[in-house]
Amino acid sequence: MARMTWGDRLYTGQSGINFVGRARLWFSISAVLLLISIGALVFRGLNLGIEFTGGAVFAVPQATCSVPDARSATEGVTEGGVIVTETGAGIVRVQTEPLTPVQTQEVIDVLAQTCNVRAEAITSQVVGPTWGAEITSKGIQALVVFLILVTLFLSIYFEWRFAVAALAALAHDIIITVGIYALTGLPVTPATLIGFLTILGYSLYDTVVVFDKIREDTKGITGQSVLSYAEVANRSVNQVLVRSINTSITSLLPVLAIIIVGAGLLGAGTLLDLAVALAVGMFIGVYSSLFVATPLAVILKSRQEDIRALDRRVSSRRAGQARRGDDDTAAGETASVAAAAPGSAAGTRAQPKRQPRSKRGKK
């Protein structure tokens, strides 16, 4: 007989993680992560890119200068507020506050002299803050429409309790992802905003897969009294656990390739902004689908009257089985004691009948 794998044991219920029974533990972990994320947003804030704050960006190709040298030379013209980074393609990227046309030309000249490149080779881009505000407004509109459609879909396909749980998981994912950006200081660009909206769809997909399995396994569950709703739901989550892990790994591999190859070797900053948001969101989305959305949906569902009646029947049935088991054990122990007791019918040993003394010598 072939040895069962971990996935087989999860599917058959021989082993598994108690997602539903330890809901307080998972919620406590999420609460801590949410508090840290909100604290980072309040006290550190987001490192908004130039598209949201406005400013100028200069790209110096094949630069021979170091990052400190480029920063020092640029600050001599702009008087501070300079961010200098070096990409993997040998390009020095200089970001400044909004500049006048005269200051822009002065920065190009000083960078050309410091980095030993031609002034014509340096590209500059001036961005106003209104463009970032428009992107933010459009992003919020898309988010509102997305949430409305998601709520309608989940309420019709499942029920409102599952819709509430899924929306809570989505909010959980966005807050923690944004909190990580605030905590690490990663720049927030329009590509990051696109990544935030993309991970909502990914998180929702994983949640719907889990919810669909629960709905399939709990259909007609009130017609029996062997398993409670929470136990069946927990078994369903464990059965799709391997699928969720495999899906996450296969989805993260190309994203990691973008981070390592696209951003690290080719120096594509926009790819890095998008890929980091996707990687963080995918990981948090898988966690929320299993440890937040499912336990919350089961808790809301368990308040339904027919589910509460089912739980009472299951508890009553198991209490009766426990009592019968105790009675059978007690009866068996009593029978064993009675059988071994002296003078009992089962414990009396047959003795040979002795003859009278007067007849012992006669034959």
The residue-averaged pLDDT of 38-59 equals 84
Q: Is 116 helix (H, G, I), strand (E, B) or coil?
A: coil
pLDDT digits (tens, 9 = 90+) for 130-187: 666 777 788 788 888 888 888 898 889 888 999 999 999 999 998 998 898 888 887 7
Does domain 131-311 fall into CATH 1.20.1640.10? Answer: yes
Query: What percent of the chain is predicted at pLDDT more than 70?
Result: 79
- 270-292: pLDDT as tens digits: 567 777 888 888 888 888 988 99
> Which of 33-42, 80-89, 140-149, 251-260 is most confident?
33-42
Residue range(s) of every CATH 1.20.1640.10 domain in the chain: 131-311
Sequence-distant (≥ 6) Cβ neighbours of residue 75 within 8 angstroms: 82
DSSP-assigned letters across all residues of 42-101: HHT--EE-HHHH-EEEEEETT--S-HHHHHHHHHHHH-S--EEEE-TTS-EEEEES---H
Q: Give domain 48-127's CATH superfamily.
A: ACT domain (3.30.70.260)
For residue range 118-133, list pLDDT tens digits in order.
Answer: 888 888 887 776 666 7
- Write down the pLDDT at residue 53: 76
Structure tokens at 179: 């909190």
Domain with CATH 3.30.70.260 in the chain: 48-127
- Nearest alpha carbon to residue 213 among 241, 245, 173: 241
Backbone angles phi, psi at 125, to 5 degrees: -145, 125
Q: Which helix (H) or strand (E) holds 112?
A: helix 101-115
